[in-house]
Amino acid sequence: MREMNRLVLGIFRYLSAAGRLNKKAFEAALPEDDRWLMDYYEGLLPKLQSLMKENKDQRKNIYEVLKHDMEFDQYMEDSGFQFGEKELSREQTKKVKSLVLHLYEKLFYNGTTQAFKRQFSYREFKEGLFLGNRKNVCPACLGYQNDLKEYGEADHYLPKARYPGLIFHPANLAVICGECNGLRVKGEKDALEQGNLTEVYFPYLRAAEEEAKLSVLGEGGKRYLGLVPVGAQAGAGKQINDPVTKRIENLEQLFRLRERWESFLPDCIAEQAACLRDLDDSAQAERELREEARRIGLKAAEQKYLLPQEACLEFLCGSGLEVILEESRRRREEKQKLAKNENST
């Protein structure tokens, strides 16, 4: 993908300097290893001609803007970094998108070129991204996906429509689960709507799983599963000005995580209460619960889809212990009452 990103920038470099569009000059401007692109020249020609209608200064500006934006991954700690692509006119952005998206669709959906002797396919493209995710974790929701390679989707973290120059940028691509990438969740939302580069996560540049963990938050009957900085105490609130907290909040909003996780805690309470309802001894029930938490915790280290369950059990073994014991007692009494009614009939 770095090669394709470099090639795209090279096309715009040529356009910025060209006096007029010439096929031979265009080919000569390509590095020898990139001249397979000439197999696509006829399809590219209308896109190139459209861009050449911009005057030379405008074409140079488009090139400088794209070059600047393609270096964004070097400025992840710079809160003042601004994407210049947003400064292009709507028509210029449309022209850039038309050219780059044409290449993206042709190369990754329509097979091979004889000159390049390499298959460009969506499947191989996605598998290449998957190899960068060594822990099999969806970088959006932190969930383990044992079929992520097969059924995950290649996502442009910054959407193609708004950042067409980053369509091939390797730092802007990741395989995430289908639910996270769906229109109901992320869709075409812009991760930077809620913050600057220092305030957002980027898969493979600044991963959420390295800074955040799942925990039960809230008080009383308003408990919910959410993310807190690694190292925070279970059930602790969030720090208002902490940069990690800001990134976590933006991630939760981008992927609607709190909403999607809202059933985990009540489901866990119901499941554990059903398992413990036949134990009259509260001490024994607590021991059983802690053993289950230990078992799930060990498995969750590798099977990360268990992380929500681990967080819920951690809460139930701590400040939520009385909640689960009370629910177990209630279910036990209901079972005993039902049995008594059945015996009396």
Is 200 within a domain? no
Is 245 within a domain? no
Show which of 157, 176, 195 is a domain's final residue.
Answer: 176
Lowest mean pLDDT among 30-44, 165-179, 244-258: 165-179
pLDDT tens by residue, 52-107: 999 999 999 999 999 999 999 999 999 999 998 878 999 999 999 999 999 888 87
Is 254 within a domain? no
pTM for this entry: 0.77
169 and 283 inside one domain: no
Strongest mean pLDDT among 62-66, 128-132, 143-147, 297-301: 62-66
Distance CA 2, CA 7 (A): 9
pLDDT at 148: 59
- Which of the two residues, 44 and 183, has the higher pLDDT score? 44
Helix 2-17 to helix 56-69 angle (10° resolution) is 160
DSSP string computed for 16-70:
HH-SS--HHHHHHHS-GGGGGGGGGHHHHHHHHHHHHTS-HHHHHHHHHHHHHHT
- Which of the two residues, 231 and 144, has the higher pLDDT score? 231
164 and 300 inside one domain: no
Show which of 130, 157, 176 is a domain's final residue.
Answer: 176
User: What does the chain come to in residues?
Assistant: 345
Show which of 139, 160, 176 is a domain's final residue.
Answer: 176
Please name the helix (run of DSSP H) or strand (run of DSSP E) that holds residue 7, with its range, or none. Answer: helix 2-17
pLDDT at 300: 85
Is 304 within a domain? yes
172 and 270 inside one domain: no
147 and 31 inside one domain: yes
pLDDT tens by residue, 273-282: 888 888 888 8
Task: Indicate the pLDDT class of residue 291, thresholds 50, 70 and 90.
Answer: very high
133 and 280 inside one domain: no
Q: Residue written as tokens 């006829």?
A: 42
Is 286 within a domain? yes
Over residues 212-227, mean pLDDT = 88
270 and 163 inside one domain: no
Average pLDDT, the chain: 84
128 and 268 inside one domain: no
The pair of structure tokens assigned to 111 is 């097979």
277 and 171 inside one domain: no
Q: Whole domain around residue 43: which residue ranges?
A: 2-176
Is 281 within a domain? yes
Is 161 within a domain? yes
Lowest mean pLDDT among 206-220, 226-240, 308-322: 226-240
Report the percentage of the chain scoring pLDDT > 70: 84
For the cut 70, the answer to whether the pLDDT of residue 149 exceeds it is: no
The residue type found at 274 is: A
163 and 49 inside one domain: yes
In the chain, how many domains are there? Answer: 2
For the cut 50, the answer to whether the pLDDT of residue 117 exceeds it is: no
DSSP 202: B
15 and 148 inside one domain: yes
Is 215 within a domain? no
pLDDT tens by residue, 118-127: 444 445 544 5
Distance CA 176, CA 170 (A): 14
